[in-house]
A and B are shown apart, each in its own frame.
Chain A
Amino acid sequence: MSIRIDRQRCIGCGKCAEICPGNLIVIDEDKKAFIRDPRDCWGCAACVKECTFQAIQYFLGADIGGKGTIMYVKKENNLLYWFFKKPNGEKEVIVQNPNDNTTY
């Protein structure tokens, strides 16, 4: 379980570092975010949701059955778009409306 930060996309805003419940993310001299140790990630996805540049990819470690799909999130008009990208390029998206009071 962990995250990978795409240095191309990261602009070093520091939001992910601010939010991580484990203080796991830091911004380096090049103004890019990095995770101190990928083994320390809890997998809460707080940083993934916080990054407005989709620079943080969330994945399952091979030790817990991961097969290479990555997940990232886009927030728009109060909706959460959860993207899943499989190793073969296939994409899936789930839209979540936090204010929907009829289904979960």
Chain B
Amino acid sequence: MNFEVKMLKTDVLIIGGGTAGCFAAVTIAEKAPNVSVLIAEKANIKRSGCLAAGVNALNAYITEGETPETYLQYVKEDYENIVREDLVYTMALRLNEVTKKIEDMGLVILKDSNGKYLARGKRNIKINGENIKPILAKAVESKKNIRVLNHVNIIDYIVKGSKVIGAHGFSINSNVFYIIIAKAVICATGGAAGLYRPNNPGFSRHKMWYPPFNVGSGYAMGIRAGCEMTSYEVRFIALRCKDTLAPTGTIAQEVKAEFINSKGEYYEKRYGRPTTYNRVFSTVEEMKAGRGPCYLKTVGISKEDEQRLIKAYLHMAPSQTLKWIDSGRGPSVENVEIEGSEPYIVGGHSASGYWVDTKRQTTLKGLFAAGDVVGGCPHKYVTGCFAEAEIAANSALKYIKDKEFETIDISSIEQKLNEVQRFFTNTSPLYTTEELEEAMQKVMDVYAGGISTGYAYNLKGLQVAKERIDELFTLAQRLRAEDTYQLMKIYELIDRLYVCKVLLHHLEARKETRWRAFQEFVDYPYKDDENFLKYVNSRFENGQVKIIFRSLVKKDEVYEHKD
């Protein structure tokens, strides 16, 4: 492969044109029409990322009677106090305003006869969201100062001293290698799926809840560049409809379905507070005790409710609608079986990701982050990602004021290009990318608390996993690509390996069990408030993961990076 090298310059580079990336771009374009923005997206912004199929609720909204303070309280309780209160609170303050903005862009929000948004619970409102991503993409396309590069996979930042001054990447459907120079960069690449053996490892291996195409590249780029990361040990395991991994919230909230085991018993209350992690944990425990399968009890709902549910899933997870129609047994006659997903790393649901200051700047200057890639701020969902994108966009705008473009060192570019080219010249490797990916997923599953061990892990297993992951790094260097799609697959594997490596160190460092199932350390089975009411952070230095413990940041603090 002979790459054609293209050098581009932009005031602000946004990596990942998903929920947060698109919203950040529009925010900048509206505030500063003279600032140039470039979105580099690995697919096409019209349907990329989490929102590809659509959603049918905005899960983070301050409904009547609630306040940003009560939202923060909920997040704190649900995540056992290990959250960045400053981040959650500053996000919560903006939730309703960004909702108005997306409505103005064209999203249909359901209303009652008085014109009020229809709430679906304490913090959710109902939408007609099949087309939410095309709506966002249209808003992006309407702005003259935003340029979009679709089908470009970004692989690393360009770093000068402790400053990020751009990024490299390559086109997936041509032979162009991009060097993008920017005054500021916003990372919005989402979370990571496919680290662990998935629920359906055979033909339907990619039928997962989180997008299999979000592989944690943003985390990996940050790790390699030496950014501080937080809370990887707070994995997210989704309780979902069996087989399709479709979200269950619509069923649970719309028809008030409760969890039952195979004996028909309502088991949730036996396990303490109904936190997000406890719902997964209790279901796993019921299965282990031989009382599975577990279900959402829907039998007996009206035919109208059934029709509403069948239709609702078309907005978000069409596979579930197909499942009901294909089997000929809808939710009114058959309970919906549930299962826990493979563990994901996703900052929008739990807490893993970049360690940022209150302004959403990472520990490297000029690098901001928003959305699922940012840690410390669980329960963000779509609107929280928008809110964070707005904050990151405003901070980036401030940062670039009076800044000039940096010059780049050509030899570092050549080095990068050689590193990439090598995958085309490697000869007769013994393994394929796919085989190494499966090997990684198996290691994580067996030794680092995957589905097969009921999410539990121990010290010995983590050590084995660390060794195996290091071996896979070596094997990955010998892989061969025939085209740029295969090259992307190699980088996806390498990025996932970096995320796994950091994750394993985090799992080892938190010597307690705080969030059952999500973080189930068999050697330390109890919560230890005395020693672990703190964040586990890390930095990758000279090939080693260095763990840093940090004290909790409170609601009204303005956190700045110091050390």
- Interface of A with B (CB < 8 Å)? 1-2, 18-23, 36, 38-46, 48, 50, 58-69, 71, 80, 82, 84, 86, 92, 94, 96, 98-104
Query: Using a Cβ cutoff of 8 Å, how many contacts connect chains A and B?
Result: 161
Question: For chain B residues 313-336, which have a beta carbon within 8 Å of chain A?
Answer: 314-315, 318-319, 321-323, 325-327
B46 touches A19 (CB 8 A): yes
A77 to B502 CA separation, bound complex (whole angstroms): 50
Which of A58, A71, A104: most chain B Cβ within 10 A?
A: A104
Secondary structure of the A side of the interface? loop
Answer whether residue B53 sits at the interface, using C-beta atoms and an 8 A cutoff. yes
Give B322 Cβ to nearest chain A Cβ, in Å.
5
Answer whether residue B303 sits at the interface, using C-beta atoms and an 8 A cutoff. no
B206 touches A41 (CB 8 A): yes
Can you list 16 A-B contacts (CB < 8 A)?
Answer: A1-B207, A20-B47, A21-B48, A21-B49, A22-B212, A22-B213, A23-B213, A46-B53, A61-B203, A64-B244, A80-B314, A84-B325, A86-B326, A94-B310, A101-B108, A103-B311
Answer whether residue B308 sits at the interface, using C-beta atoms and an 8 A cutoff. yes
Given contacts A18-B44, A40-B212, contact A63 B200 (CB under 8 A): yes
Answer whether residue B393 sits at the interface, using C-beta atoms and an 8 A cutoff. no
Of all chain A residues, which has the CB nearest B52? A44
Given contacts A41-B206, A45-B318, contact A19 B326 (CB under 8 A): no
**Which residues of chain A come closer than 8 Å to B323, judged between CB atoms?**
60, 64-65
Give A67 Cβ to nearest chain B Cβ, in Å.
5
Contact code string B24-51 (vs A, CB < 8 Å = 1, else 0) = 0000000000000000001110111100
- Choose from A43, A59, A62, A104 the contact partner of B315 (Cβ within 8 Å): A104
Of all chain A residues, which has the CB nearest B53? A44
B318 touches A67 (CB 8 A): no
**Which residues of chain B come closer than 8 Å to A50, judged between CB atoms?**
47
**Which residues of chain B come closer than 8 Å to A39, judged between CB atoms?**
202-206
B203 touches A2 (CB 8 A): yes
Of all chain B residues, which has the CB nearest A87? B326
A16 to B2 CA separation, bound complex (whole angstroms): 27
- Choose from B109, B311, B319, B325 the contact partner of A1 (Cβ within 8 Å): B319
Known: A43-B244, A65-B323. 7 other contacts (CB 8 A): A1-B244, A2-B204, A44-B47, A96-B315, A98-B130, A100-B128, A103-B308
Count residues of B near A (Cβ-Cβ below 8 Å).
Answer: 52
A63 to B203 CA separation, bound complex (whole angstroms): 7
A65 to B46 CA separation, bound complex (whole angstroms): 30
**Which residues of chain B come closer than 8 Å to A66, judged between CB atoms?**
326
A43 to B127 CA separation, bound complex (whole angstroms): 21
Of all chain B residues, which has the CB nearest A20? B43
- Choose from B52, B127, B322, B485 the contact partner of A69 (Cβ within 8 Å): B322
A86 to B324 CA separation, bound complex (whole angstroms): 12
Answer whether residue B461 sits at the interface, using C-beta atoms and an 8 A cutoff. no
A60 to B207 CA separation, bound complex (whole angstroms): 10
A42 touches B212 (CB 8 A): yes
**Which residues of chain B come closer than 8 Å to A99, judged between CB atoms?**
108, 128
Contact code string B119-143 (vs A, CB < 8 Å = 1, else 0) = 0000000111011000000000000
Give A102 Cβ to nearest chain B Cβ, in Å.
7
A87 to B300 CA separation, bound complex (whole angstroms): 28
Of all chain A residues, which has the CB nearest B151? A23
A68 to B322 CA separation, bound complex (whole angstroms): 10
Give A29 Cβ to nearest chain B Cβ, in Å.
15
A102 to B311 CA separation, bound complex (whole angstroms): 13
Question: For chain B residues 266-299, which have a beta carbon within 8 Å of chain A?
Answer: none
- Choose from A67, A94, A98 the contact partner of B326 (Cβ within 8 Å): A67
A23 touches B322 (CB 8 A): no
A69 touches B56 (CB 8 A): no
**Which residues of chain B come closer than 8 Å to A38, judged between CB atoms?**
203
**Which residues of chain B come closer than 8 Å to A96, judged between CB atoms?**
130, 311, 314-315
**Which residues of chain A come closer than 8 Å to B327, judged between CB atoms?**
65, 67
Answer whether residue B172 sits at the interface, using C-beta atoms and an 8 A cutoff. yes
9 tightest A-B CB contacts, nearest first: A64-B243, A1-B207, A69-B326, A44-B52, A46-B47, A61-B203, A44-B53, A61-B204, A1-B204
B130 touches A80 (CB 8 A): yes
Which of B56, B110, B128, B315: most chain A Cβ within 10 A?
A: B128
A63 to B242 CA separation, bound complex (whole angstroms): 12
B200 touches A84 (CB 8 A): no
Given contacts A38-B203, A64-B204, contact A104 B312 (CB under 8 A): yes
B128 touches A98 (CB 8 A): yes
Answer whether residue B488 sits at the interface, using C-beta atoms and an 8 A cutoff. yes
Answer whether residue B226 sits at the interface, using C-beta atoms and an 8 A cutoff. no
**Which residues of chain A come closer than 8 Å to B131, judged between CB atoms?**
98
**Which residues of chain A come closer than 8 Å to B315, judged between CB atoms?**
96, 104
A101 touches B314 (CB 8 A): no
Answer whether residue B175 sits at the interface, using C-beta atoms and an 8 A cutoff. no
A41 to B205 CA separation, bound complex (whole angstroms): 8
**Which residues of chain B come closer than 8 Å to A40, judged between CB atoms?**
205-206, 212
B314 touches A94 (CB 8 A): yes
Answer whether residue B211 sits at the interface, using C-beta atoms and an 8 A cutoff. yes
B43 touches A60 (CB 8 A): no
A63 to B208 CA separation, bound complex (whole angstroms): 13
Give A50 Cβ to nearest chain B Cβ, in Å.
8
Answer whether residue B73 sits at the interface, using C-beta atoms and an 8 A cutoff. no
**Which residues of chain B come closer than 8 Å to A67, judged between CB atoms?**
326-327
Answer whether residue B100 sits at the interface, using C-beta atoms and an 8 A cutoff. no
**Which residues of chain A come closer than 8 Å to B204, judged between CB atoms?**
1-2, 39, 60-61, 63-64
A96 to B213 CA separation, bound complex (whole angstroms): 27
Given contacts A64-B243, A92-B325, A98-B108, contact A104 B128 (CB under 8 A): yes
**Which residues of chain A come closer than 8 Å to B200, judged between CB atoms?**
1, 61, 63-64
**Which residues of chain B come closer than 8 Å to A22, judged between CB atoms?**
43, 206, 211-213
A66 to B307 CA separation, bound complex (whole angstroms): 20
Give A96 Cβ to nearest chain B Cβ, in Å.
6
A1 to B198 CA separation, bound complex (whole angstroms): 13
